[in-house]
Amino acid sequence: MRSIGPAVFNLRNRRSVVKSPVVCYFRTVTTFQRARSAEQRSERRRLILDTAEAMLDTMPVAAITLNELSRRVGLAKSNVLRYFESREAVLLELLDEQAREFLADIAAALPIEVDGEARPQVRAREVAVAITGAFRAHPMLCELLAAQSSVLEHNVSVEVASRFKRASLDRVGELATLLDRSLPELGSDRAAEGAWLTIIAAGELWTYSRPADAVIAAIEADPALAPARIPFAATLERSITVLLFGLLSETVELP
């Protein structure tokens, strides 16, 4: 839990506990004028990331600009660019932080040892429930994943892209390890495939489950259009379950 301005928020679960918009996200800049030491530079980077995270709590990725981020941080835009080369670079690093917390939640929700008495399909459903619950607890991660390939991976240097992709591969590998731990019948290759497809599904379903205002109005005006409104959590849990069943069917016989 980190501090933004005078208030302290649970940044992992704010959307579930804050029921009304938070007005102030400003934070006073530290007293030093120029970050000279490694510690001061780290503090400035942390301030920028915390401010971007607070902004994402009340607005979508598309609404976050470098100008507004700089204003809320209390630094000139040129100074913010000393620490992150672009808005996208800030959000990519924030995505990786959110992914780490997400994976910790899944690891805590799943049993450490496989229940040998439970059939693979039963364990697959448990895994789907755990992963879906972790995504629900991290809506900011879902928002960032939805924008990753189409927005966040643009306007960054090769160096930043490479660093993020290495980190992304590490996170996918961690999710694959958790899948392999709970469903050893999959094997490492299918567990990795399941991890990739799960992350892609979450990002796409997040976008699809949040239609434009005009689409929402059309659905509300015409009940026949109701099937076009996709519930995120239920659809994601179903998708992960079907995915895992499909992968398991390649290695074990399912009733």
**Per-residue model confidence as pLDDT tens digits over 80-102:** 999 999 999 999 999 999 999 99
Look up residue 173 and give its two tokens: 């590998």
pTM, 2 dp: 0.82
Query: How many C-beta atoms lie closer than 10 Å to residue 159's C-beta?
Result: 10
Read off φ and ψ for residue 2, nearest 5 degrees: -120, 165
Cα separation values, 38 from 34, 44, 125, Å:
12, 10, 46
Selection from 202, 206, 178 nearest residue 192 by Cα: 178
Mean pLDDT over the full length of the chain: 87
Q: What pLDDT sits at residue 100?
A: 97
Q: What is the CA radius of gyration of the chain?
A: 20
* DSSP H or E stretch at residue 253: none
Q: Which of 34 and 75 is assigned the larger pLDDT? A: 75
Token pair in block for residue 253: 């016989």
Q: What is the pLDDT of residues 122-154, one digit of tens each?
A: 999 999 999 999 999 999 999 999 999 999 999
Q: 3-state DSSP call for residue 2?
A: strand
Rounded mean pLDDT of 113-119? 82
Give the closest residue to 32 by CA, choosing from 20, 24, 40. Answer: 40
Please answer whether residues 237 and 129 qualify as being in contact, where contact means their C-beta atoms are separated by less than 8 angstroms.
yes
Strands (E), the chain: 2-4, 7-9
For residue 83, what are the contacts with CB-CB under 8 A and spacing of at least 6?
41, 44, 45, 48
